[in-house]
Chains A and B, each alone.
Chain A
Amino acid sequence: MKLPIYLDYHSTTPVDPEVFKTMAPYFTEVFGNAASRNHEYGWTAEAAVEHARLQVAQLIGATDKEIIFTSGATESNNLALLGVAEMYAEKGNHIITSPIEHKAILDTCAHLERKGYEITYLEVDQYGMVSPESVRDAITDKTILVSIMMANNEIGTINPMAEIGKVCKEKGVLFHTDAVQGVGKIEVDVQKMGIDLLSLTAHKIYGPKGVGALYVRRKNPRVRVSAMVHGGGHERGMRSGTLNVPGIVGLGKAAEMARKNLNTDIPRIKALRDRLWDGIRSQLDEVYLNGHPTERLPINLNVSFAYVEGESLMMGMKELAVSSGSACTSASLEPSYVLKAIGVGEDLAHTSIRYSLGKFTTEEEVDYAIEKTVSTVRKLRDLSPLYEMAKEGIDLKTVAWTGH
């Protein structure tokens, strides 16, 4: 067993050796520019790109012509939001999203707000879920786009995509989803879910970093986005720039593997995730699950360990590579905005740890993680004045703290 144990698959995944093997020749041998239409080097590169386009399309129930390659999901999200905002500016200036989206959505929305667009941030429930009814209520005749994430990267809650898609269709409003955390983990079908634009990235599904895609619907309705990157008219004019052929080949292979392995890898990972949670909660009191109990990604476990600060917990169990919603782990010194939005108190937000499992996680690793978590929480609770006070029966909410 290699230490530290990697339990941070939400943040990135290793490239699958098979993906890596598929990519390798495209760096050195098949190095042509996919836009070179006049010789063999260009043709083979182009064929590889088109094969990858089909592989990506098949993962999400789309057709190959609807896939635009980008540098990753941040770019895909930017292109979807800014591109739709510009293209449909005459129709309206209103966009609906949620407060717990990834920063690639929130920061882009803030940028649009400064440019005069109106953004509605729908409230989410205590599990971080958006209700289709709230989407319906927020749509006005100025609404041009609804952008709701498929699944949340911190708490793993899965949104009711098909229901939200249905509302958007009825109202004639485009529906974009940041599906970075959804694809490869749950079944995704842009037809069944009524999705018009979808962002995904390779490095969350065992592909390389620096490559992603935006799905742009071509039929019912035909969606158009204004280009943000200009220069050559690649990718149907929506995204110029020489294509990252090895990266795209890697994304394609990763997408194909994700589709083929969905029914074998995911149930195994889910069982390990459940084993981790059961192991923790059977041995520790006052641990709280953040996010939805059932409608959650099979790889995600987000737990608040009351009375123990998240960063010290991570320091105490440095053999585990996890992440925390604690303020101390962020540059801003603010605890997680996602936990805040779902009503987790700041006191508990500081104590949260996110574990995310993947296809290389083993039972042995999970058992080690349980033991390490339990022993570290116990050690730090012995050190915690809050745990001592709580055990003495003091209600911490009534204490006059000297916050600074």
Chain B
Amino acid sequence: MAYTKKVIEHFENPKNIGSLDKNSLNVGTGLVGAPECGDVMKLQVEIDETTHIIKDAKFKTFGCGSAIASSSLATEWLKGKTIDQAMAIRNTDIVEELSLPPIKIHCSVLAEDAIKAAIGDYLKKNEAKKAGTEAVAVKA
């Protein structure tokens, strides 16, 4: 299969590889896919708690070149976006940007899932925190 230039560029020079501290309250982690299916993405976002803007995004991906390119592109797009803007990213945007062929569309779906999972994780953590502070406030 021939790859598009953009896929090759992201594959050869992936952006934002690495890990953020998954225990930090400002970090949301999404882990999607399965080794048996041939692709697993871990995508993390670090969010500013007052502005709700994504300050940093990192990924690690086990998968084909298109899966790696999709996650690399996703982290590039995430930085500087608000939570709402990030949640609005669609897999079709990734397909279009990377010109993915039909057989590789699932890579873009996985990237969208990873974004949603990471932000979902952040929101869950922070709701718990909010609930925690409210409980403390009531007590006081």
Is B62 touching A328 in the complex (CB atoms < 8 A)?
no
| Closest chain B CB from A254 CB (angstroms) | 31
Is B138's beta carbon under 8 Å from chain A?
A: no
Is A347's beta carbon under 8 Å from chain B?
A: yes
B contact residues vs A (CB 8 Å cutoff) = 1, 3, 8, 11, 14, 17, 19, 31-42, 60-65, 67-68, 103, 106, 109-110, 113
Is A396 touching B35 in the complex (CB atoms < 8 A)?
yes
Is B110 touching A383 in the complex (CB atoms < 8 A)?
no
A386 proximity list for chain B (CB < 8 A) = 35, 40, 62
| Closest chain B CB from A358 CB (angstroms) | 24
Interface stretch of the complex, out of A45-53, A262-270, A309-317: A309-317
Q: Range of interface residues on chain A?
A: 20 to 34
Is B64 touching A309 in the complex (CB atoms < 8 A)?
yes
Given that A315-B11, A326-B38, A403-B33 are known contacts, is A383 also in contact with B61, CB under 8 Å in the complex? yes
Residue from the list A329, A384, A403 in contact with B62, Cβ < 8 A:
A384
Given contacts A307-B62, A312-B68, A326-B38, 7 further A-B contacts (CB under 8 A): A331-B103, A333-B103, A346-B35, A383-B60, A402-B31, A404-B32, A404-B33
Is A382 touching B36 in the complex (CB atoms < 8 A)?
no
Question: Which residue of A has the minimal Cβ distance to B107?
Answer: A328
Q: How far apart sit A386 and B36, CA to CA, in the bound complex (Å)? A: 12
Is A350's beta carbon under 8 Å from chain B?
A: yes
Q: How far apart sit A331 and B104, CA to CA, in the bound complex (Å)? A: 11
Is B42 touching A385 in the complex (CB atoms < 8 A)?
yes
Given that A307-B62, A311-B64, A312-B68 are known contacts, is A383 also in contact with B17, CB under 8 Å in the complex? yes
Residue from the list A312, A335, A401 in contact with B40, Cβ < 8 A:
A401
Is A328 touching B38 in the complex (CB atoms < 8 A)?
yes
Q: How far apart sit A333 and B105, CA to CA, in the bound complex (Å)? A: 12
| Closest chain B CB from A212 CB (angstroms) | 28
B110 proximity list for chain A (CB < 8 A) = 404
Question: Which residue of A has the minimal Cβ distance to B104?
Answer: A328
Is B34 touching A315 in the complex (CB atoms < 8 A)?
no
| Closest chain B CB from A293 CB (angstroms) | 25
B31 proximity list for chain A (CB < 8 A) = 385, 402
Is B60 touching A388 in the complex (CB atoms < 8 A)?
yes
A contact residues vs B (CB 8 Å cutoff) = 307-309, 311-312, 315-316, 326-329, 331, 333, 335, 345-347, 350, 382-388, 396, 401-404
Is B36 touching A401 in the complex (CB atoms < 8 A)?
yes
A329 proximity list for chain B (CB < 8 A) = 1
B42 proximity list for chain A (CB < 8 A) = 385, 388
Q: How far apart sit A307 and B42, CA to CA, in the bound complex (Å)? A: 13
Question: Which residue of A has the minimal Cβ distance to B42?
Answer: A385
Is B64 touching A385 in the complex (CB atoms < 8 A)?
no
A-B contacts, 13 of them at CB < 8 A, read: A309-B63, A312-B67, A326-B64, A328-B38, A385-B42, A385-B62, A386-B40, A388-B19, A388-B42, A401-B34, A401-B35, A401-B40, A404-B34
| Closest chain A CB from B29 CB (angstroms) | 10
Is A383 touching B68 in the complex (CB atoms < 8 A)?
yes
The 3 closest A-B pairs by CB, nearest first: A401-B34, A403-B34, A347-B35
B3 proximity list for chain A (CB < 8 A) = 315
B106 proximity list for chain A (CB < 8 A) = 404
Is A402 touching B33 in the complex (CB atoms < 8 A)?
yes
Which one of A311, A326, A385 has the greatest number of beta carbons of chain B within 10 Å?
A385
| Closest chain A CB from B65 CB (angstroms) | 4
Given that A383-B61, A388-B60 are known contacts, is A401 also in contact with B38, CB under 8 Å in the complex? no
Q: How far apart sit A379 and B106, CA to CA, in the bound complex (Å)? A: 24
Residue from the list A315, A384, A401 in contact with B65, Cβ < 8 A:
A315
Given that A385-B31, A401-B34, A404-B110 are known contacts, is A309 also in contact with B39, CB under 8 Å in the complex? yes
A315 proximity list for chain B (CB < 8 A) = 3, 8, 11, 64-65
Q: How far apart sit A381 and B137, CA to CA, in the bound complex (Å)? A: 47
Which one of B17, B33, B106 has the greatest number of beta carbons of chain A within 10 Å?
B33
B14 proximity list for chain A (CB < 8 A) = 383
A385 proximity list for chain B (CB < 8 A) = 31, 40-42, 60-62
Question: Which residue of B has the minimal Cβ distance to A384?
Answer: B62
| Closest chain B CB from A169 CB (angstroms) | 43
A307 proximity list for chain B (CB < 8 A) = 62
Q: How far apart sit A388 and B22, CA to CA, in the bound complex (Å)? A: 13
| Closest chain B CB from A345 CB (angstroms) | 7
Is B33 touching A312 in the complex (CB atoms < 8 A)?
no
Q: How far apart sit A396 and B34, CA to CA, in the bound complex (Å)? A: 10
Q: How far apart sit A333 and B64, CA to CA, in the bound complex (Å)? A: 12
